Amino acid sequence: MTTDGVIVAFHDDNLKRLAPGAPEEIKSKSVNDLSWDVVSKLDVGEYMGQKHVGERVARIEQVFDEMKGYPERWLYLDVKKVPLDKLAKMAHVRGIEKQLILASTHYEHHREWKRLLPTSGTLLWMGGKEDALRKRIDDLRKTDFADLTQLQVHIDVGDLNSADPFTPSSAFIREVAKETRSRGILFQSWVRGTDNPAAYKKLLGLGLESFASDYPNVAMQAIREYQRDK
């Protein structure tokens, strides 16, 4: 959110990557440090190539307006430094609560979001070593996984010809898949380190149901082939 209260669609904590043409004196700043007047003038298309030059930062209300009346349009909200009550109100007045999935690594965000918008979805994402992941899963069991509709674990892919190419381990993935399925929670992964469809097929076999991916075409190909061959 900008200093004057405008919630925007912007990922990074500074401008260096997404707005490389920004004045040097503000490149290290966050949109939280700037007014909408300044943020609205940033070119956030240049870093993607010449044909995108001139693209501007979108206000989140503009995004929500594009969803109103189109129930097939869904959106993951990867929240950063945003007041959830203000964001929820903007969604509620447009009647798009059921089209939103709040994504955060902070469980308390999901608890608050479901209190504000009970019909919205929630995705808790987590990365790190397997021991730390097991601790987080154990903590979720204490609340019976309350207020979660989706769970995402970051999975690194190594040698697909090895006994176990995944970190965290295949055993852990299979264990979490079984538990989330029993609770009606969608189990998702962000797959890192490969664009090989074989990795996605192996993960589907372990119980993954959904993917966040830098290679969506690869993921979709793997899903189609896995379902065809079942």
* pLDDT tens digits along 142-154: 999 999 999 999 9
Domain with CATH 3.20.20.190 in the chain: 64-229
d(CA 148, CA 24): 41
Query: What's the pLDDT band for 4 if we cut at 50, 70, 90?
Result: very high
Q: Which residues are within 8 A (CB) of 206 and not within 5 positions of it... i.e. 6 or more apart?
A: 166, 170, 173, 174, 177
The CATH number of domain 64-229, selected from 3.20.20.190, 3.40.50.300, 1.10.1200.10, 2.60.120.10: 3.20.20.190
Q: Which residues are within 8 A (CB) of 99 and not within 5 positions of it... i.e. 6 or more apart?
A: 67, 71, 73, 74, 75
Average pLDDT, rounded, for the chain: 96
* pLDDT tens digits along 61-84: 999 999 999 999 999 999 998 999
Residue 229 has pLDDT above 90, yes or no: no
d(CA 191, CA 179): 20
| pTM metric for this prediction | 0.91
d(CA 229, CA 203): 15
d(CA 216, CA 197): 10
* pLDDT tens digits along 14-23: 999 999 999 9
